[in-house]
Amino acid sequence: MTLTIVTLVPSLQNTNGDAENAAVLARRAAWAGLDARVVAVESRADLPEQVDAVVLGSGSDASLERSRGRLLELHDELRRWGTEGVPILAVGTGWELLSWGIERPDGTTVEGLGILPGRAVPRAGARVTEDLVVAERGSGRVLVGFENHARDYVGAEGSPLGRVRAGQGNGRGSGQEGVVMGEVIGTHLHGPVLAKNPFLADRMLSAMADRAGLTYEAGDQARAVDAYAESACRAQIAAAGVADAPG
Protein backbone atom coordinates (compact mmCIF):
# COMPACT_ATOMS: atom_id res chain seq x y z
CA MET A 1 0.00 0.00 0.00
CA THR A 2 1.02 3.59 -0.57
CA LEU A 3 1.12 6.16 2.21
CA THR A 4 -0.47 9.43 1.12
CA ILE A 5 0.77 12.71 2.54
CA VAL A 6 -1.29 15.75 1.59
CA THR A 7 0.01 19.29 1.52
CA LEU A 8 -2.81 21.80 1.88
CA VAL A 9 -3.04 24.90 -0.37
CA PRO A 10 0.70 24.93 -1.21
CA SER A 11 0.18 27.69 -3.80
CA LEU A 12 -0.60 30.10 -0.95
CA GLN A 13 0.96 28.37 2.06
CA ASN A 14 4.61 27.74 1.20
CA THR A 15 6.32 31.08 1.79
CA ASN A 16 9.11 29.68 3.88
CA GLY A 17 9.31 26.28 2.26
CA ASP A 18 7.15 24.78 5.04
CA ALA A 19 5.01 22.78 2.63
CA GLU A 20 8.19 20.87 1.70
CA ASN A 21 7.84 18.97 4.97
CA ALA A 22 5.41 16.76 3.06
CA ALA A 23 8.21 15.82 0.67
CA VAL A 24 10.51 15.21 3.65
CA LEU A 25 8.02 12.66 5.06
CA ALA A 26 7.66 10.96 1.67
CA ARG A 27 11.43 10.81 1.15
CA ARG A 28 12.06 9.33 4.60
CA ALA A 29 9.28 6.78 4.04
CA ALA A 30 10.94 5.77 0.77
CA TRP A 31 14.32 5.47 2.51
CA ALA A 32 12.61 3.10 4.96
CA GLY A 33 11.34 0.98 2.09
CA LEU A 34 7.74 2.21 2.29
CA ASP A 35 5.75 3.46 -0.67
CA ALA A 36 4.70 7.07 -0.21
CA ARG A 37 3.41 9.93 -2.31
CA VAL A 38 2.68 13.63 -1.83
CA VAL A 39 -0.64 15.02 -3.04
CA ALA A 40 -1.09 18.79 -3.31
CA VAL A 41 -4.61 19.74 -2.28
CA GLU A 42 -5.58 23.20 -3.48
CA SER A 43 -9.30 22.58 -3.23
CA ARG A 44 -11.71 19.88 -2.19
CA ALA A 45 -11.63 18.34 -5.66
CA ASP A 46 -7.95 17.38 -5.20
CA LEU A 47 -8.59 15.39 -2.04
CA PRO A 48 -7.44 11.75 -2.32
CA GLU A 49 -9.50 8.92 -0.82
CA GLN A 50 -6.93 7.97 1.78
CA VAL A 51 -4.98 10.55 3.80
CA ASP A 52 -2.17 9.37 6.08
CA ALA A 53 -0.60 12.69 7.07
CA VAL A 54 -1.23 16.39 6.52
CA VAL A 55 1.17 19.31 6.13
CA LEU A 56 -0.02 22.92 6.11
CA GLY A 57 2.66 25.57 5.62
CA SER A 58 2.75 29.30 6.20
CA GLY A 59 1.55 32.03 3.85
CA SER A 60 1.48 35.79 3.74
CA ASP A 61 -1.00 37.92 5.69
CA ALA A 62 -2.49 39.16 2.43
CA SER A 63 -3.67 35.64 1.61
CA LEU A 64 -5.13 34.78 5.04
CA GLU A 65 -8.76 35.14 3.92
CA ARG A 66 -8.23 33.25 0.67
CA SER A 67 -6.46 30.39 2.43
CA ARG A 68 -9.15 30.28 5.09
CA GLY A 69 -11.77 29.98 2.35
CA ARG A 70 -9.97 27.01 0.81
CA LEU A 71 -9.45 25.33 4.19
CA LEU A 72 -13.12 25.76 5.11
CA GLU A 73 -13.98 23.40 2.24
CA LEU A 74 -12.02 20.76 4.17
CA HIS A 75 -13.33 21.65 7.63
CA ASP A 76 -15.07 18.30 8.22
CA GLU A 77 -12.05 16.31 7.10
CA LEU A 78 -9.66 18.38 9.22
CA ARG A 79 -11.82 17.73 12.30
CA ARG A 80 -12.02 14.04 11.50
CA TRP A 81 -8.28 13.68 10.85
CA GLY A 82 -7.55 15.49 14.10
CA THR A 83 -9.79 13.15 16.11
CA GLU A 84 -8.71 9.97 14.35
CA GLY A 85 -5.00 10.56 14.98
CA VAL A 86 -3.85 11.43 11.47
CA PRO A 87 -0.57 13.34 12.03
CA ILE A 88 -0.96 17.00 11.08
CA LEU A 89 1.86 19.56 10.99
CA ALA A 90 0.74 23.18 10.70
CA VAL A 91 3.29 26.00 10.51
CA GLY A 92 3.05 29.78 10.93
CA THR A 93 -0.12 31.28 9.44
CA GLY A 94 -1.23 27.72 8.59
CA TRP A 95 -1.25 26.95 12.31
CA GLU A 96 -2.96 30.27 13.08
CA LEU A 97 -5.75 29.40 10.62
CA LEU A 98 -6.31 26.08 12.42
CA SER A 99 -6.61 27.87 15.78
CA TRP A 100 -9.65 29.62 17.24
CA GLY A 101 -8.78 32.74 15.29
CA ILE A 102 -6.39 35.51 14.37
CA GLU A 103 -6.73 38.96 15.97
CA ARG A 104 -5.50 41.86 13.89
CA PRO A 105 -4.08 45.10 15.38
CA ASP A 106 -7.11 47.04 14.06
CA GLY A 107 -9.43 44.91 16.20
CA THR A 108 -10.81 42.77 13.36
CA THR A 109 -10.57 39.00 13.56
CA VAL A 110 -10.08 36.19 11.08
CA GLU A 111 -12.07 33.30 12.44
CA GLY A 112 -10.04 30.10 12.68
CA LEU A 113 -11.11 26.52 12.03
CA GLY A 114 -10.89 25.58 15.71
CA ILE A 115 -8.80 22.45 15.23
CA LEU A 116 -6.14 23.60 17.71
CA PRO A 117 -6.67 25.45 21.00
CA GLY A 118 -5.56 29.07 21.38
CA ARG A 119 -5.42 32.04 19.07
CA ALA A 120 -2.99 34.40 17.38
CA VAL A 121 -2.86 37.91 18.85
CA PRO A 122 -1.06 41.13 17.86
CA ARG A 123 2.54 41.38 18.93
CA ALA A 124 3.79 44.51 20.64
CA GLY A 125 7.20 44.67 19.00
CA ALA A 126 8.46 44.20 15.48
CA ARG A 127 8.04 41.00 13.47
CA VAL A 128 10.21 38.16 14.77
CA THR A 129 12.77 36.79 12.34
CA GLU A 130 15.41 34.81 14.16
CA ASP A 131 16.65 31.38 15.17
CA LEU A 132 14.28 29.47 17.42
CA VAL A 133 15.56 26.73 19.72
CA VAL A 134 13.00 24.74 21.71
CA ALA A 135 13.28 21.97 24.31
CA GLU A 136 10.42 19.58 23.56
CA ARG A 137 7.89 19.09 26.34
CA GLY A 138 8.17 15.60 27.79
CA SER A 139 11.23 14.36 25.90
CA GLY A 140 13.40 17.45 26.48
CA ARG A 141 14.84 16.93 23.00
CA VAL A 142 15.97 20.04 21.20
CA LEU A 143 14.06 21.34 18.18
CA VAL A 144 15.76 23.89 15.96
CA GLY A 145 14.37 26.20 13.31
CA PHE A 146 13.82 29.73 12.16
CA GLU A 147 10.83 31.82 13.19
CA ASN A 148 9.22 34.51 11.04
CA HIS A 149 5.95 35.81 12.44
CA ALA A 150 4.20 39.07 13.28
CA ARG A 151 1.89 37.74 15.99
CA ASP A 152 2.07 36.07 19.38
CA TYR A 153 -0.02 33.03 20.34
CA VAL A 154 -2.08 32.63 23.50
CA GLY A 155 -4.16 29.79 24.87
CA ALA A 156 -1.62 27.03 24.23
CA GLU A 157 -0.30 27.09 27.79
CA GLY A 158 -1.80 23.70 28.63
CA SER A 159 -0.07 21.75 25.88
CA PRO A 160 2.80 23.57 24.20
CA LEU A 161 5.24 21.85 21.86
CA GLY A 162 8.06 22.89 24.16
CA ARG A 163 9.97 25.46 26.12
CA VAL A 164 11.86 28.27 24.34
CA ARG A 165 15.64 28.10 24.79
CA ALA A 166 16.38 30.89 22.29
CA GLY A 167 14.05 33.07 20.27
CA GLN A 168 10.48 34.25 20.93
CA GLY A 169 8.10 31.36 20.23
CA ASN A 170 4.54 32.02 21.35
CA GLY A 171 5.66 35.23 23.09
CA ARG A 172 3.81 37.26 25.73
CA GLY A 173 6.27 36.07 28.33
CA SER A 174 5.03 32.47 28.11
CA GLY A 175 8.49 31.03 27.41
CA GLN A 176 6.64 28.46 25.34
CA GLU A 177 6.54 27.49 21.72
CA GLY A 178 3.87 25.81 19.64
CA VAL A 179 0.87 23.74 20.57
CA VAL A 180 0.22 20.01 20.40
CA MET A 181 -3.08 18.19 20.53
CA GLY A 182 -2.97 14.48 19.92
CA GLU A 183 -1.07 14.09 16.65
CA VAL A 184 -1.72 17.68 15.57
CA ILE A 185 1.23 20.05 15.90
CA GLY A 186 1.16 23.82 15.44
CA THR A 187 4.53 25.59 15.41
CA HIS A 188 6.45 28.73 14.49
CA LEU A 189 9.39 26.55 13.39
CA HIS A 190 9.50 27.51 9.73
CA GLY A 191 10.97 25.80 6.74
CA PRO A 192 12.03 22.16 6.66
CA VAL A 193 11.42 21.56 10.38
CA LEU A 194 11.02 17.81 9.81
CA ALA A 195 14.32 17.58 7.92
CA LYS A 196 16.13 19.62 10.54
CA ASN A 197 14.57 17.66 13.42
CA PRO A 198 14.23 14.13 12.05
CA PHE A 199 12.98 12.64 15.32
CA LEU A 200 9.79 14.66 14.84
CA ALA A 201 9.46 13.34 11.28
CA ASP A 202 10.03 9.78 12.43
CA ARG A 203 7.41 10.15 15.15
CA MET A 204 4.89 11.27 12.52
CA LEU A 205 5.95 8.44 10.21
CA SER A 206 5.60 5.85 12.99
CA ALA A 207 2.08 7.10 13.75
CA MET A 208 1.22 6.92 10.04
CA ALA A 209 2.65 3.42 9.71
CA ASP A 210 0.87 2.17 12.85
CA ARG A 211 -2.48 3.38 11.58
CA ALA A 212 -1.84 1.69 8.24
CA GLY A 213 -0.69 -1.57 9.83
CA LEU A 214 2.91 -1.07 8.68
CA THR A 215 6.21 -0.75 10.50
CA TYR A 216 8.44 2.26 10.11
CA GLU A 217 12.13 2.12 10.84
CA ALA A 218 14.41 4.90 9.56
CA GLY A 219 16.54 3.74 6.63
CA ASP A 220 20.35 3.84 6.29
CA GLN A 221 20.13 6.77 3.91
CA ALA A 222 18.13 8.69 6.53
CA ARG A 223 20.89 8.17 9.07
CA ALA A 224 23.49 9.61 6.67
CA VAL A 225 21.31 12.60 5.87
CA ASP A 226 20.43 13.13 9.54
CA ALA A 227 24.13 13.75 10.19
CA TYR A 228 23.85 16.86 7.97
CA ALA A 229 20.80 17.93 9.96
CA GLU A 230 22.72 17.52 13.19
CA SER A 231 25.61 19.70 11.97
CA ALA A 232 23.17 22.33 10.73
CA CYS A 233 21.35 22.32 14.08
CA ARG A 234 24.60 22.49 16.09
CA ALA A 235 25.66 25.55 14.09
CA GLN A 236 22.30 27.19 14.61
CA ILE A 237 22.21 26.38 18.33
CA ALA A 238 25.69 27.86 18.73
CA ALA A 239 24.68 30.96 16.74
CA ALA A 240 21.62 31.35 18.95
CA GLY A 241 23.84 31.29 22.03
CA VAL A 242 22.44 28.08 23.57
CA ALA A 243 25.12 26.03 25.31
CA ASP A 244 24.13 22.37 24.83
CA ALA A 245 23.99 20.13 21.81
CA PRO A 246 20.82 18.65 20.29
CA GLY A 247 19.43 15.72 22.24
Partner 1 sequence: MRYAPAILVGRLTRFAARLRKAGGGSAVPGLVVNRIAPNYLKRTLSGFPQGLVVVSGSSGKSTTTKMLVAVLRAHHVDVFTNPSTANISQGLTSALLERADWRGRVPGEMAVLEMDEGHGALVMQGVDARVVTLMNVMVDQIDRFHDSEMVAGMLARIAARANEAVVINADDAYLDRLADKVRADVSVHRFGVSDAVLASAPRGLGYAATTVARVPEAGGVRLVAVDGRSGTIDDHGTHVTVELPARGIHYGVDATAAYATAKALLGERFDAKTAADALSAIPAVFGRGERVRVRDQDVDFVLVQNPASYQLNVDSIEPGTSDILFAIGSDVRDPSYFWPTDASSLGRVSIVSGSKAAEAALMLAYDGVEIDRVEPDLARALDDFLAAPPPASGTKTIVFSADSMRRTRAHLGLTGAE
Q: Under rule CB under 8 A, which residues in 144-173 are in contact with partner 1?
A: 146, 148, 150
- The residue type of 228 is Y
Among 6, 8, 20, 95, binds partner 1 (CB under 8 A): 20
| 242 binding partner 1? (CB under 8 A) | no
Does 218 bind partner 1 (CB under 8 A)? Our answer is: no
According to the binding rule CB under 8 A, does residue 195 interact with partner 1?
A: yes
Nearest CA to 36 out of 224, 222, 220, 212 is that of 212
Which member of 18, 52, 103, 177 binds partner 1 (CB under 8 A)? 18
- Orientation of helix 64-72 relative to helix 75-84, angle to 10°: 70
Task: Give the residue, chosen from 27, 119, 165, 188, that forms a contact with partner 1 under the rule CB under 8 A.
Answer: 27
Question: 29 or 115: whose CB is closer to partner 1?
Answer: 29
Asked if 225 is part of the footprint of partner 1 (rule: CB under 8 A), the reply reads yes
Instruction: Select from 81, 111, 107, 87 the least CA-distant residue to 98.
Output: 111
One-letter amino acid for residue 64 of the chain: L
Instruction: Give yes or no for a contact between 180 and 82, defined as CB atoms under 8 angstroms apart.
Output: no
- Active site annotation includes 149: no
What minimum distance in Å lies between the beta carbon of 231 and partner 1? Answer: 4
Residue 175 CA to residue 179 CA, distance in Å, equals 13
Point out which residues pair with 186 in neighbouring strands: 90, 179
SS3 128: strand
Tell me: does residue 129 bind partner 1 (CB under 8 A).
yes
Q: How far apart are the first and last CA of the chain?
A: 33
115: amino acid identity, one letter: I
> Which listed residue (33, 231, 241, 247) binds partner 1 by CB under 8 A?
231
Is 127 assigned a ligand-binding role in the annotation?
A: yes
Q: Which residues bind to partner 1, rule: CB under 8 A?
A: 14-20, 23-24, 27, 60-62, 127, 129, 131, 146, 148, 150, 190-192, 195-196, 224-225, 228-229, 231-232, 235
The annotation places the binding site at 127
The annotation places the binding site for substrate at 127
